[in-house]
Amino acid sequence: MISQPHPQDDGLWYKDAVVYQLHVKSFFDSNDDGVGDLPGLISKLDYIANLGVDTIWLLPFYPSPRRDDGYDIADYRGVHPDYGTVADVRKLIRAAHARGLRVITELVVNHTSDQHPWFQRARTSRPGSAARNFYVWSDNDKAYAGTRVIFCDTEKSNWTWDPVANAYFWHRFYSHQPDLNYDNPQVLKEVLAVMRHWLDMGVDGLRLDAVPYLVEREGTNNENLPETHQVLKRIRAVIDSEYPGRLLLAEANQWPEDAQEYFGNGDECHMSFHFPLMPRMYMAIAQEDRFPITDIIRQTPDIPATCQWAIFLRNHDELTLEMVTSRERDYLWSVYAADPRARINLGIRRRLAPLLERDRRRVELMNSLLLSMPGTPVLYYGDELGMGDNVHLGDRDGVRTPMQWSPDRNGGFSRADPERLPLPVLMGPLYGYEAVNVEAQQRDPHSLLNWTRRMLAQRRQTHAFGRGTLRFIQAGNRKILAYLRQWRDTTILCVANLSNAAQPVELPLQAFNGRVPVEMLGGTPFPAIGELPYLLTLPPYGFYWMDLSAEAAPPGWHASAPERMPELVTLVLRGHANAVLTDGSRQTLETEVLPEYLARQRWFPGATPPARVSLAYATPFGAGRAESSGAGGAEYYWA
Ligand code: BGC
């Protein structure tokens, strides 16, 4: 079984990482006020480390009116008092590092809350002044008309009238989140200062929220503009010169060719989310066809060697369907969000387990894809348990409910009275905390939690998943997705049955003739690969990760089929050799001897014996090759 040494410390730690995304508010409440907090999170770090991830991504914990769950920041340098203090953040980082966990936090670069002092100052400042120009203003709401509205369920325009400023301000998200103006050099200066503030505290990486929208230009759609990339290059330059080894992760919900631009030439972000892959994984299992996945990966350009995609199945937002065609969106909505309450904006506000109807096989299959596709996997807290959601809550709150730790009050999340919790704990018979919780799943060797741990432990054995190349294998059966992940001398074969029924597949693996596939989760060697297509059968929604080992021995019970000894046949030809054409021996030759003989000849096309052989004529051997018995004049020939 493979177990590879860590590549030399090349500063590319994020390529081998597995990220666990969580909300401090919803993780664990240490002071029983009903709200999760930083000391609570610190007390649960062992749980996270034992899960087998190595990086935590924290949703915003800064002072905020929380009208966009903290992405509406009112003070970039502080901590929301409900969650703790800046000193607690320091403690958290130290405690995480002590357990080998890295910490990524949010740098919300596109907008602030309208409560931020910069905005309060801007709206009362003289038009045209530097303070006013921290944000984007207009006398009318007609500018930048070609720009889409992202939160289309709530907002009708990207402009909102501010009666104090007597002008419209620009916002790509909620109307209480004015966009910062990067045409004002002061803005980037301030943002860099905020960045240094958190990096100095020891955070290992920053997720750059909503990066495609930093700069606006008339006549464009105001996404991915070259000026925006210039801003990112300046941010990256600071990382490279002052904080080498730290990470920038772009949130750019774009098509692959636009998203990859956030890597620049290796001089913008180290990582970027692969948004279009995610809905296509759901599409592939709904349609029982690998095409959506192979197609989007083929459309994905190569990226600089130091860069990496971040891949995910779910996160704190809706399952976004922005990066699919409208026909695909309708299809995904009808399959995964038949209940209109599950839909929001251009997406679906559901967690992984309910999306897959608590079908453990599909949950495992999707996780196996997540953990073996090219990129760094990001797991969303609670999905390792199969937690559910609550579509009756507003906005995307239904996927942000408290972590379910035990069957105790509030799911063990808090000892406060339940009505004090900002979001209610799930209580239903299928997904409620009595049915789904950490304590029970820790005791159950077959739980999803323990399965996830085993998968993560297995993934850590090799760098092929994080760093290797990917090559699809074109098998005839399209319900099977098969691909090779290759890194240095390791090759892993991943095979996934996307369908609801058992499937056979023949894989053209002749290039690996002689290698022994070792199924990685169970360590079982399979028969060696030969010159023929390799036959596998998979149960419904089954998958295999197989190390194509050059060293492992094939299973003891499997001997390659012994060469069939040519059978000795006695032909009795009465009279002349031509009797072979008329005698009963002809049938023996045509049906038993020659088909097998022909199939073994090098020059014969194909390895299977011909269906029919017929003798056209016979030439007698020369004198002395035949023996005459004398009796009855019969001659005996040996074939
Ligand atoms: C975050 C969302 C947030 C939005 C606006 C996004 O990219 O992931 O949760 O609502 O930014 O702040």
The residue written with tokens 């009465």 in the block is 574
| Contact between residue 90 and residue 201 where contact means Cβ atoms under 8 Å apart | yes
Ligand 1 atom nearest the C-alpha of 174 is 5
Query: Which residue lies with its CA nearest to atom 12 of ligand 1?
Result: 71
| Separation of CA 317 and ligand 1 centre (Å) | 7
Ligand 1 atom nearest the C-alpha of 71 is 12
Selecting among 251, 317, 384, 397, the annotated active-site residue is 251
The residue written with tokens 């199939």 in the block is 599
Burial of 315 (0-12, 13-18, 19+ CB in 10 A): buried
Q: What does the mean pLDDT of the chain come to? A: 93
Identify whether 389 is a catalytic site residue. no
Separation CA 367–CA 453 (nearest Å): 12
426 versus 6: the higher-pLDDT residue is 426
**Average pLDDT of span 35-40:** 98
- Would you state the structure tokens that stand for residue 22, as one six-digit string? 């969580």
CB of 179 closer than 6 A to ligand 1?
Answer: no
CB of 397 closer than 6 A to ligand 1?
Answer: no
Q: How confident is the model at residue 565 (pLDDT cuts 50, 70, 90)?
A: low
The residue written with tokens 């500063």 in the block is 11
CB of 273 closer than 6 A to ligand 1?
Answer: no
CB of 317 closer than 6 A to ligand 1?
Answer: yes
Q: Where are the alpha helices (DSSP H) in 347-415?
A: 352-355, 360-372
CB of 173 closer than 6 A to ligand 1?
Answer: yes
Three-state secondary structure readout of 282-321: HHHHHHCCCHHHHHHHHCCCCCCCCCEEEEECCCCCCEEC
| Separation of CA 496 and ligand 1 centre (Å) | 33
- How does 11-50 read in b/e, with b if 16+ C-beta sit within 10 Å? ebbbbbbbbbbbbbbbbbbbeeebbbbbbbbbebbebbbe
| Single-letter residue type at 226 | P
| Separation of CA 210 and ligand 1 centre (Å) | 7
Separation CA 481–CA 292 (nearest Å): 10
| Separation of CA 209 and ligand 1 centre (Å) | 7
Burial of 286 (0-12, 13-18, 19+ CB in 10 A): middle
Three-state secondary structure readout of 524-578: EECCCCCCCCEEEEECCCCEEEEEEECCCCCCCCCCCCCCCCCCCCEEEEECCHH
pLDDT digits (tens, 9 = 90+) for 371-426: 999 999 999 999 999 999 999 999 999 999 999 999 999 999 999 999 999 999 99
CB of 344 closer than 6 A to ligand 1?
Answer: no
The pLDDT of residue 561 is 59
Separation CA 396–CA 393 (nearest Å): 8
The pLDDT of residue 534 is 98
Percent of the chain, pLDDT > 70?
A: 92
| Contact between residue 264 and residue 270 where contact means Cβ atoms under 8 Å apart | no
Ligand 1 atom nearest the C-alpha of 316 is 9
pLDDT digits (tens, 9 = 90+) for 500-533: 999 999 999 999 999 999 999 999 999 999 999 9
The pLDDT of residue 579 is 73
User: How many residues can be counted in the chain?
Assistant: 639
pLDDT digits (tens, 9 = 90+) for 435-447: 999 999 999 999 9
Sign of the four-CA dihedral 435, 436, 439, 440 = positive
Ligand 1 atom nearest the C-alpha of 315 is 8
- Would you state the structure tokens that stand for residue 435, as one six-digit string? 């049915």
The pLDDT of residue 342 is 98
Separation CA 346–CA 322 (nearest Å): 6
The pLDDT of residue 626 is 41
CB of 88 closer than 6 A to ligand 1?
Answer: no
Residues 6+ apart with CB under 8 A from 448: 360, 363, 364, 384, 385, 386, 441
Q: What angle do CA 25, 31, 36 make, to 5 degrees?
A: 10
CB of 169 closer than 6 A to ligand 1?
Answer: no
Identify whether 179 is a catalytic site residue. no
Strands 308-312 and 627-628: unpaired
- Would you state the structure tokens that stand for residue 245, as one six-digit string? 């080894």
| pLDDT exceeds 70 at position 461 | yes
Collapsing DSSP states into helix, strand and coil, what is residue 22?
strand
CB of 136 closer than 6 A to ligand 1?
Answer: no
Selecting among 69, 82, 209, 383, the annotated active-site residue is 209
| pLDDT exceeds 90 at position 606 | no
**Average pLDDT of span 208-217:** 98
Burial of 632 (0-12, 13-18, 19+ CB in 10 A): exposed
CB of 210 closer than 6 A to ligand 1?
Answer: yes
Which of 112, 149, 151, 209 to mutate for ligand 1's pocket (most ligand atoms within 8 Å of CB)?
209
- Would you state the structure tokens that stand for residue 337, as one six-digit string? 């969000």
CB of 262 closer than 6 A to ligand 1?
Answer: no
The pLDDT of residue 8 is 64
**Number of helices (H), then strands (E), in the chain:** 19, 25
| pLDDT exceeds 90 at position 570 | no
Collapsing DSSP states into helix, strand and coil, what is residue 579?
helix
Q: How confident is the model at residue 353 (pLDDT cuts 50, 70, 90)?
A: very high
| Contact between residue 574 and residue 600 where contact means Cβ atoms under 8 Å apart | no
Half-sphere exposure of 447 (CA within 13 A, CB side): 20
The pLDDT of residue 164 is 98
| Contact between residue 173 and residue 68 where contact means Cβ atoms under 8 Å apart | yes
pTM: 0.88
| Contact between residue 520 and residue 547 where contact means Cβ atoms under 8 Å apart | yes
| Separation of CA 111 and ligand 1 centre (Å) | 10
The pLDDT of residue 75 is 98
Query: Which residue lies with its CA nearest to atom 7 of ligand 1?
Result: 210
| Contact between residue 368 and residue 316 where contact means Cβ atoms under 8 Å apart | no
Q: How confident is the model at residue 548 (pLDDT cuts 50, 70, 90)?
A: very high
Ligand 1 atom nearest the C-alpha of 177 is 12
| pLDDT exceeds 80 at position 3 | no
| Separation of CA 175 and ligand 1 centre (Å) | 13
The pLDDT of residue 129 is 98
| pLDDT exceeds 80 at position 198 | yes
CB of 209 closer than 6 A to ligand 1?
Answer: yes
- Would you state the structure tokens that stand for residue 187, as one six-digit string? 């803005």
The pLDDT of residue 577 is 67
| pLDDT exceeds 50 at position 615 | yes
Separation CA 273–CA 260 (nearest Å): 9
